[in-house]
A = this chain, B = another copy of it.
């Protein structure tokens, strides 16, 4: 969805005003498009790129030293006119000719061809070349019919770098043609883009499907297939592109994994990890890959894989520096520190040694603790979605995920500690450390410190009596309160935990055994967690969002109470041994 515009009919004009303002260091406007702020130097071929808008950084975002001399700017997904193209070329032309390059689209071909005719009539040595990298758009043997998509970038880059290096027009054309002949792209889409002012996208892809062979103008793909995982997609893209390798291609390749707009960097990196591995397995050496947004299609969801098979000349131009509004290559500054050896960072911090002082009773207690953590982890795995839903009301919905990660890691650490002969205290401390380390986030660090504090208080020797257990729970509460900086009533886990530890203490003081008291205290905690729906959070959350959370219980208090109940069930409803 394109949300931000004034008059949709003036979208491109408005866009250019902002672009020119933000990048005044690089570009100035001329009729029909933009050119570098400095004139083309004598002896240098000018390279003009262009096409419709909606593909930023393509095309105007790559005008600058090392890259294009000018860009012809059409309306969204619409070829600029021949008047636009000749105007920009005329402004860029120095004394050594001009090469115009676009993707292979009927409108661009007609308008840029007419512009070249006009420029030649004016005595300018002008030439036109089209990029044809999209392997999905026509079969082998008909490469000249193919569309230009993200491979525009590799061809533009090499042609512009060759011009910057001082090659004459015939040779710049040769490099551009070589780059085009060596470049192949295959793209997929998961959802279409919406033109400014339109209220629906140009196409949709059913959930769980992907369109294969998409264009970059909102054209749907050529076939619809089930959406694979990132690994599967990487394989499909690599297979597709390598399956169309040009004859005589070497094993050194420039590669672009290009996002189309809505498919974000994190997703592209996930796919890239698999693409890079597959390419290496097949014997390719990847030279200075680009993973990001280079040729977009407004907010289209999707990505494409481009490979340019390199020779020495293309590699030189692919790697050459550039300084443009949206694409900068080469170091503007360097680091003079010593090169790191990665090995020295294998171990981050010394792990805490498990206590060697446990006795048989303590080791039995350690087993009970591990069993209780196992029950907690199982319960939280089931409750993940529900906890996430509560958290999403005024937060980011990750509470369930964090609790699952933390409790699973804690269970594993507890089991390892039991194996190593640890008592209940050390088992809890080990579990707390892993909970905090693996879950991260707010709940992770708080649960980690809580379990560690409980473990410290219980120790590894003997069976703790009910008073010790009640005191240990209070120690856990104190640790959470100290670390989190919240107070009861702030709508945090403390609001379930304080009633729990107070009720546990009261009943134990009254002479109840801890396991019986625990069940009652867990019930109190559950009621208290529900009651947090009436509260407003006071810390750690934006003030106005606090209002939104009224009516929903605190996720941290909720999960705390749920854990207390599971542990109660564990110790009361089943024989201790099997819990």
Contacts and interface: CB of A to CB of B under 8 A. Distances in A.
Interface string A348-379: 11000000000000000000000000000000
A333 B330 contact: yes
A358 B543 CA distance: 75
A73 to B, nearest CB: 10
Contact of A483 (B81, B114, B210): B114
Interface centre among A22, A41, A210, A544 (most CB of B within 10 A): A22
B110 A77 contact: no
A31 B77 contact: no
Interface residues of A, number: 173
25 contacts: A4-B268, A5-B230, A5-B267, A6-B230, A15-B266, A18-B269, A18-B274, A22-B272, A22-B276, A29-B345, A31-B348, A39-B337, A44-B337, A56-B269, A75-B398, A77-B396, A78-B440, A79-B442, A83-B433, A110-B442, A111-B444, A219-B394, A322-B332, A330-B332, A330-B333
Interface stretch (A171-179, A295-303, A557-565): A295-303
A311 interface: no
Given A94-B337, A110-B442, A331-B332, 13 more contacts: A6-B231, A18-B270, A22-B291, A30-B345, A30-B348, A78-B401, A81-B444, A106-B541, A134-B542, A199-B207, A220-B545, A261-B262, A323-B332
A455 interface: no
Copies in the complex: 2
Contact of A1 (B82, B203, B301, B484): B301
A80 interface: yes
A161 to B, nearest CB: 10
A468 interface: no
A49 B11 CA distance: 37
A420 interface: no
A96 to B, nearest CB: 13
Nearest to A110: B445
A219 B17 contact: no
A421 interface: no
Contacts of A395: 217, 219
A532 to B, nearest CB: 16
A420 to B, nearest CB: 20
B264 A56 contact: yes
A166 interface: no
Contacts of A484: 106, 110
Given A38-B337, A137-B543, A267-B2, A17 B396 contact: no
Interface in A100-115: 105-107, 109-111, 114
B37 A544 contact: no
A270 B442 contact: no
Contacts of A137: 542-545
Interface string A286-297: 000111100010
B87 A349 contact: yes
A339 B218 CA distance: 38
Interface centre among A438, A440, A539 (most CB of B within 10 A): A440
Contact of A202 (B109, B396, B441): B396
A499 interface: no
Nearest to A112: B445
